[in-house]
Amino acid sequence: MSSVPERSDIDTEYKWDLASIYASDDDWEEAFEDVQSRLSDIAAYEGRVTEDAETLFELLRLEEAVMREVSKVANYASLRSAEDTRNQEYQALQAKAESLASEAQSTASFVEPELQELSEEEVASFVEAEPELAEYEHYFDDVLRMKPHTRSAEVEELLAELSEVAGAPSDIYGMLSNADMTFPTVENPEGESVEISQGNFTKLQKHPNREFRREVYEQFYDEWGDVRNTVGTALKNSVKKDVKYANARNYDTAREAALDGPNVPVDVYDNLVETVRDNLDYLHRHTELKREALGVEEVEMWDLYMSLTGEEGPEVTYEEAKEYIVDAVAPLGEEYQAQVEAGLEDRWVDVYENRGKRSGAFSSGTYDTQPFILMNYQDDIASMFTLAHELGHSLHSELAKDEQPWQYADYTIFVAEVASTVNETLLTQYLLENVEDDEFRTHVLDEYLERFRSTLYRQTMFADFEHQMHTISEDGGALTPDRLDALYGDLKQEFYAPANVDDRIAREWMRIPHFYYNYYVYQYSTGISAAVAIVERILNEGEDAAADYRDALALGGSEYPIDVLETAGVDMSSPEPIESALSVYGEYLDEVAALLDLE
């Protein structure tokens, strides 16, 4: 029987090294208690933020010291919880850490409202009186920019205190989908029993046996159907939370509030959705190529993940993936390449799926720790690309930390998704140019096309769905599971018009955790668009363009995201990068059609 192993069965070399944060849980408890006791030091400055320049500088340095430790405490607990969501001890640890983070946010919530009592001229005079405050000039600009949407200190404290409760819909969904839901076991064509999981569902949907794919698909979505009211209630309340918080901060819509945080113009969102909708013909052609390649009368929803070759891709072990990725990022410079190689050897990555492990993949870490990458590696090309993606995030963090003070080391998701997709694009280029095996190259090309489909098109479809949900809620409409099914089913039908869009796929919204992240998913689509443009520039112009890109990553959060990408040579206020990426998608469709002798 093919089953998911327990964590204890996985070799240490394939697990991340959380002892590099705290040597033991006892050390974590000691750090927790210490930093919790220091929150009162911050509170002592309430009402004194703008007393004078020296006081402001003292407070900002104190806030940094405390929040850096809070971040470490929270990160350790979160990563422990992700290892096995069934472990009640680590669930309790994470709950404590979330409470601490909420308490810290609440304690420091007076800082920005008090800063906003200053004018730009008064801030400039403070910087003149205390030159070390010059380091915070972008921070001051950002704080003053948000003045119309910042409430009184009392209201800000209340909103901060509610943050933990406001996260309940996402927490409930996470526990249900990762810990409590058990998916059926099916028999594959080789006679082996295979347990369906969140981590292996997509891989099983690539199995060459169509009847097996259908069975997996139906069993998987039928299981979701059994919890549709719970998931629907969680998502409905998550959307309501977004709307209420936007209203509390004097925004007209939740989307406006979400995009104003990182200072991304709403036009960027509209450009994305409109441009992709205007170019659905590429996606429809991809779907038709699948129909022809598979030799079927109609593409079914359980065919969408299938390779155009009609076969499972070749096995790519974790060790092979590491070697390919290190070689692929060479155009980004020797130092970047060396950091990638070192991270892969220094236990940044938690590699394989285990029972109870959080599904999917992510890159995490803090200013004072190494990066940590969660994977559920499946020995295939898709997993290799996911590893390259997450390493892009990790190297972004490392470059920003190396060049920026703490307050600017973090960066927006809008920029983050560029860094991850640049790595994917470079990996594609490298493999197509250097691997001689035609079958392998065809699968690589097919994988990249799939990533275009699932990133540029699918995530834009998600973004459209997300905006429709919020608009309905803002207009006083009801987000029932039936309404959500109808919304999602209509979009799926529009995007995949040549395929048979059945009733089960209308439930797909239930398995997407990113819908709880408040206007998050569009950034995957803008990210791949910018990444394609950046890679084209690097491959055409060489080191000068690579240096511009590294400089952009090193900016962290010291500039607004649109300006950061301009440093890398991309204007995301225009639809041009999206149109360019879509054109590349079309060219790759032509190439794979020629390779496979398809129309």
All structural domains of the chain with their residue ranges: 7-166, 263-346+380-599
| Residues 410, 557 contacting (CB under 8 angstroms) | yes
- State whether the Cα torsion 351-357-363-366 is positive or negative: negative
| Beta-bridge partner residues of 374 | 350, 362
Name the residues annotated as catalytic: 390
- 266-277 and 576-595 helices, crossing angle to 10°: 30
Rounded to the nearest 5°, which phi and psi values hold at 185? -105, 130
Reply yes or no on whether the pLDDT at 453 is more than 50: yes
Residue 30 has pLDDT above 50, yes or no: yes
- Report the C-alpha gap between 389 and 383 in whole angstroms: 10
* Pair type for strands 372-377 and 185-187: unpaired
Tell me what percent of the residues of the chain surpass a pLDDT of 90: 87
Question: What is the C-alpha separation between 25 and 92, in angstroms, rounded?
Answer: 12
pTM for the full predicted model? 0.84
Predicted pLDDT at 2? 55
Tell me the average pLDDT of the chain.
94
Distance CA 501, CA 493 (A): 6
Predicted pLDDT of residue 563: 96
Are residues 286 and 449 in contact, defined by beta-carbon separation less than 8 angstroms? yes
Confidence of residue 367 (pLDDT cuts 50, 70, 90): very high
Q: Express each pLDDT in 530-579 by its tens digit.
A: 999 999 999 999 999 999 999 999 999 999 999 999 999 999 989 999 99
Element (H, E) at 363: strand 362-364
Query: Residue 476: helix, strand or coil by DSSP?
Result: coil
- For the stretch 80-118, pLDDT in tens is 999 999 999 999 999 999 999 999 999 999 999 999 999
* Residue labelled with tokens 């095996």: 437
- Count each helix (H run) and each strand (E run) in the chain, helices first: 27, 5
Facing residues of 300 across strands? 500
Residue 46: exposed, middle, or buried by beta-carbon count in 10 A (0-12, 13-18, 19+)?
A: middle
Which position has the token pair 């972008």? 138
Q: How far apart are CA 27 and CA 552, in angstroms?
A: 37
Sign of the alpha-carbon dihedral angle for 87, 88, 93, 94: positive
* Alpha-carbon span 545 to 531, nearest angstrom: 13
For residue 106, give Cα distances in angstroms to 64, 100, 148, 275, 505. Answer: 15, 10, 20, 41, 41
pLDDT at 292: 94
Residues 176-228 have pLDDT tens digits of 998 899 899 999 999 999 999 887 898 899 898 999 999 999 999 999 999 99
d(CA 311, CA 294): 9
CA 591 to chain centre: 30
Q: Supply the DSSP string of 373-406, one letter for each residue.
A: EEEEE-SSHHHHHHHHHHHHHHHHHHHHHHHS-H
Which residues lie below 8 Å from residue 451, measured CB to CB, with a gap of 6+?
Answer: 385, 424, 528
Spatial separation of the C-alpha atoms in residues 18 and 2, rounded to whole Å: 29
C-beta atoms surrounding 91 within 10 Å = 18
Q: Under CATH, which number does the domain 263-346+380-599 receive?
A: 1.10.1370.20
Q: What is the mean pLDDT of residues 481-508?
A: 97
Classify residue 365 as left (phi > 0), alpha (psi -120 to 50) or beta: left
Assigned CATH for 7-166: 1.20.140.70
3-state secondary structure at position 575: coil
SS3 labels along 280-334 = HHHHHHHHHHHHHHHCCCCCEHHHCCCCCCCCCCCCCCHHHHHHHHHHHCHHHCH
pLDDT tens-digit series, residues 393-414: 999 999 999 999 999 999 998 9
33 vs 307: which has the higher pLDDT: 33
Q: Which residue's entry shows tokens 């404590």?
A: 96
Distance CA 197, CA 416 (A): 28
User: Kindly report the CA angle at 532 between 200 and 351, in degrees rounded to 5?
Assistant: 30
Count of C-beta atoms within a 10 Å radius of residue 128: 11
Amino acid at 414: F
pLDDT at 457 over 60: yes
Query: How many angstroms separate the CA atoms of 143 and 61, rounded?
Result: 17
**Phi-psi label, residue 479: left if phi above 0, alpha if psi -120 to 50, beta otherwise:** beta
**DSSP secondary structure string, 115-146?**
HTTS-HHHHHHHHHHSGGGGGGHHHHHHHHHT
1 pLDDT higher than 70: no
